[in-house]
Structure 1
Amino acid sequence: MSNNTEQHTEKNSKNSITAPCYYEQQGSGSPIVFIHGSYATTSTWKKIVQQLASTHHCISIKLPGHCGMPDPDDFTAPNIDTELKIIESVITELTELPIHLIGHSFGGVVALALALKGSVAIQELTLFEPVSTWVFESVGDQAMTQKVNAFIQNYRQGIRNNAPYICGKVIDFWAGEGAFEPLPDFIKDGMEPLTANNNRHWTLCENTDHPRTSLNLLTIPTKLVCGSASNPVAQAIVDHLSNELPNSKQYTIPGASHFLVTSHAIECLNIIGK
């Protein structure tokens, strides 16, 4: 770890003792902020951060209810401002420079929401399979809206029935049928307690209501990335965002599915560096 990083850590160690520390950081240079997805942790970015920390100040956000952080207090009325306020605070504390903001899955939902809010200086935006299902309503894609709604109804019925490993339904939905089963038991067991948080994330996507024009006015250079083997829903989200965001480029990683940032880290790094 560089001396610069050690200075960052020392500077903020006092705050981390008295309040939850919603980030990890490594390296020095221009700042990159990473937001992991639902049922995930900052380890999502481990392979990518290891490569980028030699030239960048890498800041990995810990979402509420994940990575040992407290659960959000808005389960009765979920609001994505809960996430945005945390990230805004972290960015303000750690850097004064424009950031490269990177999100995966639900982290992509949060990253796009922050970009649309316009509250921090974002130099570049990279979204790896953002699960921003709200975009279907914005662009009038009723077929995809119905497909997502059918999954959510089935998933929530499983939650009400206390079905074991209901988290596996979400993994299989995004990464393909059978993706959950081969995961190690310790990973499955770590996911299960996050079900309430994941259900909240679906609610946030359902309740988001950005008009199509808000996407058309977002001029931040944006990279949109999906895998060729991913759920058609994820691919459709990227397709729609690519059509609506005026300064975007779309990338498809052959053979990759939803967990492309870990399974195809080198290819993702190459896209980040373009």
Structure 2
Amino acid sequence: MNAASTMLQDRHGHIDYGEEGTGPTIVFVPGSWATASSWQGVIEALGGRFRTVTTSLPGYGGTRDRRTAADTSIDRQAEIIEAVIRRAGGPVHLVGHSLGALACLDVALCGMLPLMSLTLIEPVAFGLLRRESQLALYEQFTAMRDAYFQAFENGEREAALRVIDYLGGEGSFDALPSRMRQYIVRTTATQVQDMRSAFDPPLSAFANILLPTRLICGERSPQALQRSAEILTRALANASLCTIAGATHFMPGTHAAEVAQRIGDHVSTTEALAWDSLSIASPFSSRSLGHAV
């Protein structure tokens, strides 16, 4: 099946929406500075085994930014995902990267829509470090963030270099193609809003997410991201953590095949368990499997 791209519309404006393939539905949510196309390599590596649905977060691609200076809540990103899930029809397997993974967590915590599983690729849940007294790592992140905000406010054209090099390693920004660097510079104001998103629930709240969840980290990613993923894995009710050798935070682009394998295995295992449950339970109880409460 060829990819079909369209637009959703809600009271705030347009939302990117695309889908292709058949089978269990996976909704892919990109992070900051990314659009639906960032999942192309992963989707190709999945080999047509699934129906794949893509979108973009507020301010990227064709998705209208709905935030204001007074309201940068992660709920605005979650609204996009919820609209996409409703259009796709549930239950769905939800996959998010970076800020997109954080927004997927917000959707799961609300528990209002039918979900089968979560795959979270390095959610930028730095607040977990503070809650678990990992203060040195938390302060490394906040020092970078504050320097980035200051550089942006001072009009520094390549202020975003601080974020890209923090996440991907020194020299990552300069190594990007010129066109991509220009895009990052052009959308830096949007990403500043992303980093001001308010998402810091108590650690105990994550135990309410009963979905089968797989967290994915890169071996070469910042220690702060790896540690926060470990904390989140323990806090969730039904989660496992895996690491991709040689990968950094930008692994959906650099290690697409490995990322696809982890996603595909997780989705297939969840589907198999759901079918096993279906054979011994009523349709109503089996449908509720995987819902967040």
Q: TM-score, normalised by structure 2?
A: 0.84
Unmatched tracts of structure 2, length 5 or more? 266-293
- 2:56 matched residue in structure 1: 62
- 1:166 matched residue in structure 2: 159
- Please state if 1:200 is matched with 2:200: no
- 2:45 matched residue in structure 1: 51
The letter for the 2-side match of 1:126 is T
- Please state if 1:255 is matched with 2:249: no
Unmatched tracts of structure 1, length 5 or more? none
- 5 Å-filtered alignment, 1:208-227, equals 208-227=199-218
Tell me, in whole angstroms, the C-alpha distance in 2 between the residues paired with 1:129 and 1:234.
Answer: 6
Tell me, in whole angstroms, the C-alpha distance in 2 between the residues paired with 1:13 and 1:39.
Answer: 19
The structural deviation recorded for 1:53 is 6.4
The letter for the 2-side match of 1:178 is G
Tell me, in whole angstroms, the C-alpha distance in 2 between the residues paired with 1:273 and 1:77.
Answer: 36
The answer to whether the 8 A contact 1:83-1:110 is kept is: yes
- 5 Å-filtered alignment, 1:67-106, equals 67-95=61-89, 97-106=90-99
User: 1:165-215, CA deviations, whole angstroms, 9 ceiling, x for partnerless residues?
Assistant: 1122111010101111011111111111211211111111xx323111111
Aligned length in residues? 264
RMSD over aligned Cα atoms: 2.1
Identical-residue share of aligned pairs (%)? 31
The answer to whether the 8 A contact 1:35-1:102 is kept is: yes
The answer to whether the 8 A contact 2:15-2:80 is kept is: no
**Partner SS for 1:93:** helix
Q: TM-score, normalised by structure 1?
A: 0.89
Tell me, in whole angstroms, the C-alpha distance in 1 between the residues paired with 2:170 and 2:159.
Answer: 14
- 2:173 matched residue in structure 1: 180
The structural deviation recorded for 1:15 is 6.2
1:229 pairs, out of 217, 220, 238, with 220
- 1:38 matched residue in structure 2: 32
Tell me, in whole angstroms, the C-alpha distance in 2 between the residues paired with 1:62 and 1:117.
Answer: 20
The answer to whether the 8 A contact 2:168-2:250 is kept is: yes
The answer to whether the 8 A contact 1:106-1:201 is kept is: yes
The structural deviation recorded for 1:153 is 1.0
The structural deviation recorded for 1:14 is 9.1
